[in-house]
Structure 1
Amino acid sequence: MLEGVTATNVRLPLTPLPRPRSVLFAPGNRADLVAKLPRSAPDAVVIDLEDAIPADPDAKTAARPVARDAARDLIACAPHLNVFLRVNAVHSPYFEADLAALTPELAGVVVPKLESAQDVQQVVDTLRTRGLDLPLMAGLETGAGVWNARQIMEHPAVGWAYFGAEDYTTDLGGVRTAGGLEVLYARSQVALAARLAGVPALDIVVTALNNEAVFREDAGQGRALGYSGKLCIHPAQVALAHDIFGATPAQLTRARALLQAAHEAAALGHGAFSFEGQMVDEPMLAAARAILAAGPQPQQTEEA
């Protein structure tokens, strides 16, 4: 929290964001698009000062006040929406100036291309010089970032992480393909590191905006690898992400019934029991708990 800011002028509480299924982006220089972000009911939104803004000093400078004001307006209109702002990379010439666009009401800061725990600490220290204490969503988008993924995500300031396939492939000098084999190792590494660090990880962007089949296939791969949700760059992708990374009503009902049966068996002193003709073990119970954790989250009803 910004030093000197009291609870009377900071909006609390935010909707909890333990495992976001969808994180929807909008360009920081387009206040009109930022205002529309709540309409598709994403779990979180990101106002972007990095990739969505040309790498030009004048363009970056012009975008910052627009992004700051758009964030404040969005928070005022949708006070329970988790609103993030993505700054440029910590070692870029734009990073420190981007901090002027931050506001303490934000749910957090998205920082791309982090490569070490030292990078994370540099971000934290720089934020603190401005009186800001915001959690970070860490972007793992380079060879070094993927290699050091676990130490980055174990930093206490990091609450979430995402894998960026496009920048990762560019950093390695590779080529993106439709099958995605070139990023399978890194994609798996980030998911594994996130699991060990206890941090929700968000899967790669799908740039085919009008191809539902491509999005579903790619998101299904991410779900199978252990990602909690998807980065979305079009409102139509949000519902698809919720479908794939959430849980169906039937799955939720079965998971609740299984856990209730386990509770009743334990009350009777039974260490082992059967459910729907199947012997139950701890991995099955853990899977049921995970299904409930991935179940539908409260939907945003506010319209910007």
Structure 2
Amino acid sequence: MQLRHARSILFLPASNARAIAKARTLPCDMLVLDLEDSVADDAKDDARDGAVAALAEGFGGRITSVRINVEGMPWHGVEMIAVKGSAADYVVLPKVEYPKQVKDVASVTQKPVIAMIESARGVLAAAEIAAAEGCAGLFMGLNDLRRDLGIPPSAGREGLSHAMQAVVLAARAAGIAVFDGVFNRLDDEAGLERECAEGHALGFDGKTLIHPGQVTVANQIFGPDTQALADARRLIAAATGGAERFEGRMIETMHVEEAQALIARADAVGQ
């Protein structure tokens, strides 16, 4: 599966063997084995070894990645070496603010990098980060971004909308994938649905998640629906080239390409 086709990206503490085992039964498109915030300092070494072992065992064709600690932390170097020798598809780098951070990690790990944009400085440099050698995608780190911008945790996402759109623009200009931030309220399915719909409308490819119970909603909202797929197939069948009328609207080559991309995404996720 291409990274841009991923609808649901589930973060798991690499120190939690039970959660990792359960992830093999979940319908998520991508997994992030986390060595950073969700793992206590005294568990970092065991978590790193556990992540490498779990990746070697495999995750049934799901896209896999490891989130390492940032440069300057005592585990950064050894984690890069471990990821290099692992079966991970990607390495996730938190708190990225400069293109060089991406280039350095890609050079050492020999893995494509997904950069997390989590600060005002990161947002302002998003275009350069997205274009950096080795950068394959961007994650919005909205919890840290809220704190950096001084937005209360209880506030909605209105104050983040400019930053979110800027990161989507940066990813699209560089031709790479981009994913919405996590939803923190675990028992609010309606809120999760609203936030996924908002992220989809902003142009994100999918959503990062922190709980298995959030996977189904993300898959549903970021995946093509039945009606849209039927419309796409009819449009492709009807198109003869150039501008023409189709079911009461004008279409051209661009609309055919959009329909083809929608069908390709559905095929990639088994819809």
Q: Please report the TM-score for the alignment, with normalisation by the length of structure 1.
A: 0.82
* Larger of the two Rg values belongs to structure: 1
Q: Give me the whole-angstrom Cα distance separating, in 1, the residues matched to 2:27 and 2:154.
A: 31
**2:36 is the alignment partner of 1:50:** yes
Paired position in structure 2 for 1:119: 101
Q: Match for 1:252 among 198, 208, 229? A: 229
Q: Give me the whole-angstrom Cα distance separating, in 2, the residues matched to 1:52 and 1:85.
A: 12
**2:44 is the alignment partner of 1:60:** yes
Q: Give me the whole-angstrom Cα distance separating, in 2, the residues matched to 1:33 and 1:222.
A: 26
Letter of the 2:67 partner, please give it. R
Paired position in structure 1 for 2:179: 202
| Equivalent residues of 1:245, 1:294 under 8 A apart | no
Displacement of 1:83 in angstroms is: 1.4
Change (3 A) 1:92 1:182: farther
Paired position in structure 1 for 2:69: 88
Displacement of 1:30 in angstroms is: 0.7
Displacement of 1:219 in angstroms is: 0.9
Instruction: Give aligned pairs, total.
Output: 269
Q: Give me the whole-angstrom Cα distance separating, in 2, the residues matched to 1:94 and 1:155.
A: 24
Q: Give me the whole-angstrom Cα distance separating, in 1, the residues matched to 2:76 and 2:13.
A: 16
Other structure's SS at 2:11 match: strand
Letter of the 1:162 partner, please give it. F
Q: Give me the whole-angstrom Cα distance separating, in 2, the residues matched to 1:224 and 1:202.
A: 12
Other structure's SS at 1:59 match: helix
Q: Match for 2:246 among 275, 278, 290? A: 275
Q: Give me the whole-angstrom Cα distance separating, in 2, the residues matched to 1:18 and 1:180.
A: 23
Paired position in structure 2 for 1:297: 268
Aligned CA-pair RMSD: 1.9
Consecutive unaligned residues of structure 2, counting only runs of 5 or more, are none
Identity of aligned residues (%): 34
Displacement of 1:277 in angstroms is: 2.3
Q: Match for 1:233 among 210, 220, 235? A: 210
Q: Give me the whole-angstrom Cα distance separating, in 1, the residues matched to 2:150 and 2:77.
A: 28
Displacement of 1:190 in angstroms is: 0.6
Q: Give me the whole-angstrom Cα distance separating, in 2, the residues matched to 1:123 and 1:257.
A: 45
5 Å-filtered alignment, 1:120-199, equals: 120-125=102-107, 127=108, 132-199=109-176
Displacement of 1:232 in angstroms is: 1.2
Change (3 A) 1:122 1:100: closer
After superposition, the C-alpha distances for 1:24-52 in whole angstroms (9 at most, x for unaligned) are 11111011111111322211111101111
| Equivalent residues of 2:9, 2:28 under 8 A apart | yes
Letter of the 2:100 partner, please give it. Q
Paired position in structure 2 for 1:223: 200
Q: Please report the TM-score for the alignment, with normalisation by the length of structure 2.
A: 0.91
Paired position in structure 2 for 1:5: none
